[in-house]
Structure 1
Amino acid sequence: MSYPIYQVDAFTSEIFKGNPAAVMPLEEWLPDETLQALAAENNLSETAFFVRGSDTSNYDFHIRWFTPGVEVPLCGHATLASAWVIFHKLHWPAEQIRFHSKSGPLGVGRTPDDWLVLDFPNLPIEEQETPKIISEALDSTPRTVFYVPADTNYMAVLESEAAVLAAQPDMRKLMQLGNQGLIITAPGETADFVSRYFAPGAGIDEDPVTGSTHSVLVPYWAKRLGRTRLEARQVSARGGLLHCELKGDRVGIAGQAAFYMEGTVHMP
């Protein structure tokens, strides 16, 4: 059997920047262990798989995302990459795509200048004392952090963009969190806010640009800065730019995409 595969750099207009995602359209779902094996073989932070919805369903595609180690409930950059493939390679005629996912309905729209706008949930956070694992893994962690129940992440707010850039967390310590990640963020000098994201327990030491974490970051910074439209930068080595908007219980996350590669996966 053979299956098409695409690789797209998300949240950037240039290849070799942003966050690369593998995208595999399927006619029907393969066994979960096969999907996981494919994601491990691709060895990118996420591989997105999607299947066309039925004529009677209230969505266009069912989408799932896998890291090299686990399936995740929500992923922004691989959703954006999937939408780029659907619009540009599968020639989707509409200006909107409706996805069904483990995190509920998700949408992606296309602007006239070819930015893609994710319609994601606004994820609540809970402030709590910083877990010992995190404080041991990152010297600059404050006394309290925020926990994200819906996405099994923690968020630490640091003092400055310089502190975010300088952070060197102990990945062996963070791995003890298991399938949980750590977002670090601060007010930005080059944008309204900046962030980085680490999830070694899920097979990702540092994710280049993480769309889904902005379902948490945007509501937090919108409240703190007193406005709903924000520019965000993820300041990893590859880096990425996101235009964000808080829309009540939803978050708009806009980015560009750069097409890198397409091919065929052959399996017995």
Structure 2
Amino acid sequence: DLCGHATLASASVLFDLLGSGAGGKKRRHVKKIFFHANKDKLKAKLAPGASTGVQIHPGDGQGGCGKKNSVRISMDFPWRSLREVVEEADRTAILRMVQKAFKLSDETMHKNLLFVGIDSVGEDVLVEVTRDVLLSLKHGPSHINYDALETWGGGYSRGVILCSQASEKDIVIAPDGERMRIDFLSRFFGPKAGIPEDSVTGSAHCTLAPYFGAKVGKANVVGMQVSERRGVVECALEDGACEGEGRMKKVRIVGTAGLAVGGTLFV
């Protein structure tokens, strides 16, 4: 199935082996690599500019995440639209699920809830809350009842996305030293996929980027996943207009990968 980390890591290794990546000698001029996932065809290519990672602004108390010998890779992922959950029974069940998981009161939930939706393929539920509430949620099993996130019996098959629009306080320092504004914040929980909480989830941005791109009126958006480790995801929304009749909307995600260790496995 679709996985951002697996696509980024695989592309990084292949570009390196083919001489186009961070550490290899130039042997072949490879511009693009295509991966065939279970339901999707994914394209990866080298993104402009070498990267040393991004640094989360110290004003929010975060450390840096610089990488040496790293490479920036652009990946075309499918565009996932959202359908708002308006059925009262389903909406109530989702809210109860989130409240129980994070020990939120009825008052907090209802005052700070902005949107409840499910993606176009039925994989993920998206719950938008205010920034203050999202950042108030703690991390780890002592603070989160992960089992509660499986209690809604409705039609989602993978995970729960909690998110909010960012504020002017949310910035990162880009590789070129420029201050880059964050457009949205998120956390991802994959109870039905056996993942309590994922640190950075590229595939969730197939839904997050189109949703917040429409909200802020931008074709290029930057998300910060506020897991315990944290990470930044750059996204570009492509409408596929140049592809003719069979055009497909897609989300172009840029990630940074560094080759840390290599070896040979005999089987």
Flag whether TM exceeds 0.5 (same fold): yes
Displacement of 1:96: 1.0
Greater per-residue helix proportion? 2
Aligned to 1:255: 255
Counterpart check, 1:165 vs 2:135:
yes
Aligned to 2:224: 233
Counterpart check, 1:208 vs 2:172:
no
Q: Partner amino acid for 2:134?
A: V
Displacement of 1:264: 4.9
Alpha carbon RMSD of aligned pairs, Å? 2.3
Aligned to 2:7: 79
CA separation of 1:265 and 1:179: change in aligned 2, threshold 3 A: farther
Identity, % of aligned pairs? 32
In 2, Cα distance between equivalents of 1:205 and 1:266: 33
- Give the conservation status (yes or no) of the 8 Å contact 1:179–1:199: no
In 2, Cα distance between equivalents of 1:179 and 1:167: 24
Aligned to 2:80: 123
Point out 4+ residue stretches in structure 1 off by more than 6 angstroms: none
Q: Which has the higher contact order (CA 8 A, sep 6+)?
A: 1
TM (norm. structure 2) is 0.66
In 1, Cα distance between equivalents of 2:115 and 2:76: 29
CA separation of 1:102 and 1:208: change in aligned 2, threshold 3 A: same
In 1, Cα distance between equivalents of 2:145 and 2:114: 18
TM (norm. structure 1) is 0.65
1:84 counterpart SS class: helix
CA separation of 1:112 and 1:180: change in aligned 2, threshold 3 A: closer
The 5 Å alignment of 1:23-38 reads none
Larger Rg: 2
Displacement of 1:143: 7.5
Displacement of 1:164: 2.0
Q: Partner amino acid for 1:185?
A: C
In 1, Cα distance between equivalents of 2:253 and 2:47: 12
Counterpart check, 1:244 vs 2:235:
yes
In 2, Cα distance between equivalents of 1:210 and 1:258: 18
Displacement of 1:240: 1.2
Residues 102-159 of structure 1: per-residue CA shift (max 9 Å, x gap) = 2321111102423111101111211112524334324265375111142511111111
Give structure 1 stretches of 5+ with no counterpart. Answer: 1-72
